Chain A
Amino acid sequence: MTQSGEPMIAVEDVEKVFDVRRKAAGRLRRERHRVRAVDGLSFTVPRGEMVGYIGPNGAGKSTTIKMLTGILTPSGGRVLVAGIDPSRDRARLSRRIGVVFGQRTTLWWDLPLRDSYQLVRRMYRIEDARYARNLAACVELLDLGPLLDVPVRQLSLGQRMRGDIAAALLHDPEVLYLDEPTIGLDVVSKAKVRGFLRTVNAERGTTVLLTTHDLTDIETLCSRVMVIDHGRLMYDGGLDGLHAAGDSERTLVVDFARELPPVEVPGARWVRSEGPRQWLAFPAGDSAAPLVAALAARHPLVDLSVREPAIEDVIARMYGAA
């Protein structure tokens, strides 16, 4: 990955220490605690890359994103985004980045979706032609046409999220941060959002950093994944490597025609049974096909499905292995 020189995002030995006050037992005075939310974090993201940024709750993901946008000032280390120090030049940076907080809308609740976009146009001083072009692209790819004149409060969660993503892209940002963009969305909405992000990344070369709890987001979008826990980078590489590092397992859920004793097949491990349904775990890197073939050869099957490992499990296993 050696596109045009400078990385889009450069994080070097970054720390963020919070003073947390809490009541000490039996005393009137409060005790001060120092919490290292981010602890010596370093990474770079080249222009045009799409990176998944994952980790358990409280790992420091949001704190990192807030430092990358200039909302928070790091306690130590250096951050550069598009060549700008976010905490010193927040307003200048704001014109070059787009931010979507999955749980917090920037749209105007009581006004038609279109009005929120008009405000973005004026605040960012987007030229009319560019605004028209970008809005048209978002409307088409995110299916916003019928929603533009609907007050935001009447939109479903998935529609609102699509609206929020479009709002973050109207000013042509070079970097897009997405904090849980698919949280709470149904399958169709998730697919739409993912497809759109892929297009934006491919056509505009937008650098994307996204946090998520959904491994499928990462699988379908990101060539690279960074895992953070306790404010430190635990893993940085491809998704395959993550599964290998975490020894993670996928689960094959099989419905047999009748209740059977725990089946034994090479390459898989019986986990549990419930009536005719059985759960079998197999390494995430392996294909499910030979397993299914082996099972079908021995017993009549009614139905089956493959479940991806949850991020929490993958990370928990990484620690188990470490």
Chain B
Amino acid sequence: MAESAARTRATPAAERTPGAVAESVRAYRLVVGMWMRSTMAYRASFVMTALGNLAATALDFVTIVLMFSHIHALGGFTLPEIALLYGTASTSFGLADLLAGSLDRLGERVRDGTFDTLLLRPAPVLAQVAADRFALRRLGRVTQGVLVLGWSLPRVDVHWTVVNVALLPVTLLAGAAIFCAVFVAGGAFQFWAGDAAQVQNSVTYGGATLLQYPPGIFSRELLRGVTFVVPLAFVNWLPCLRMLGRPDPLGLPGWVDFAGVPVALLCCALAGVVWRAGVRSYRSTGS
């Protein structure tokens, strides 16, 4: 995320020094620190929402478990296999949501004019916006994702070769990067359409939910959409199918299972272009 923040920040070439990544990380940490302290000003409220969040996300998986008390397989997937999909999707999305989820509130800052004050600080704007309203309670989703994943791993029928072992963390990180790119691009879109947050939510939150289920239960059109348009399939579906030794419903060539990292990099680069265009458009149209 930090890397993508640096790469995509909207500053003229003259300012893009080798220390740009470090600058972005530094600004991000400074702003995150302020928001965490702000949250702690209402300690009881923080504890309540954090617990509430954890309970809500936990119930989310309980739904699936309850479903499996009536059926033995969903789309040909057993409960531990679904848990693998669920755990990877939740962890990746949770990480992205924690790091950059606030970008979906950018429209508010554009509308009320407070985005201007971010432009006046000597710090990369994307890093500031990504850190805006940082909410530690979002750690709840990551925790739950990791727990479900940890439960599934000893129970799924995966031959743990070196490739499969390496594929798992790489998949989680590439997945998080893809979701971050979606957050950045979606945030940038709000420069043009201030109320586009719901469209973005359908891709981010909707996408994360989609990825928690086996691809076989969805229509081919939808699968094509999440493979080639918004490449969410690379977050966990394709690599998980390989680990589980199952064919993917679209019949793509085998190497795409490993395409997560290049796809993530491509997504971040595209998101960077969109972000820069967004900031440029803001600065020439005003509010």
Contacts and interface: CB of A to CB of B under 8 A. Distances in A.
A108 B30 CA distance: 13
A122 interface: yes
B37 A115 contact: yes
Contact of B284 (A72, A90, A123): A72
Q: Classify the secondary structure of B's interface with A.
A: helix
B38 A111 contact: yes
B285 A111 contact: no
Interface stretch (A25-33, A91-99, A229-237, A276-284): A91-99
B120 interface: yes
Nearest to B26: A122
A91 B34 contact: no
B11 A104 contact: no
A69 interface: yes
Contacts of B37: 111, 115
Interface in B84-130: 113-114, 116-117, 119-123
A296 interface: no
B122 A89 contact: no
A104 B109 CA distance: 12
Contact of A94 (B12, B120, B284): B120
Contacts of A69: 119-120
A111 B34 contact: yes
A127 to B, nearest CB: 15
A99 B121 CA distance: 10
Interface in A108-124: 108-111, 115, 119, 122-124
Contact of B114 (A18, A63, A72, A104): A104
A92 B15 contact: yes
B41 interface: yes
B119 A90 contact: yes
A119 B122 contact: no
A99 B122 contact: no
Given A66-B286, A122-B30, A110 B123 contact: no
B38 A109 contact: yes
A101 interface: yes
A108 B34 contact: yes
Contacts of A263: none
Interface string A232-265: 0000000000000000000000000000000000
Contacts of B14: 88-89
B12 A71 contact: no
A40 B37 CA distance: 47
A72 B119 CA distance: 10
A303 interface: no
Given A71-B116, A89-B15, A94-B121, A119 B30 contact: yes
A134 interface: no
B27 interface: yes
A110 B41 contact: yes
B113 A88 contact: no
20 contacts: A18-B286, A19-B285, A37-B286, A70-B283, A72-B283, A73-B280, A87-B283, A89-B14, A91-B11, A91-B15, A91-B122, A95-B122, A97-B120, A104-B116, A106-B120, A108-B38, A109-B38, A119-B30, A123-B121, A123-B122
Given A18-B286, A69-B120, 16 more contacts: A19-B285, A71-B283, A72-B283, A73-B284, A75-B284, A88-B14, A99-B120, A101-B117, A104-B116, A109-B38, A110-B41, A111-B34, A111-B37, A111-B38, A111-B41, A124-B122
Interface of B: 11-12, 14-15, 27, 30-31, 34, 37-38, 41-42, 113-114, 116-117, 119-123, 280, 283-286
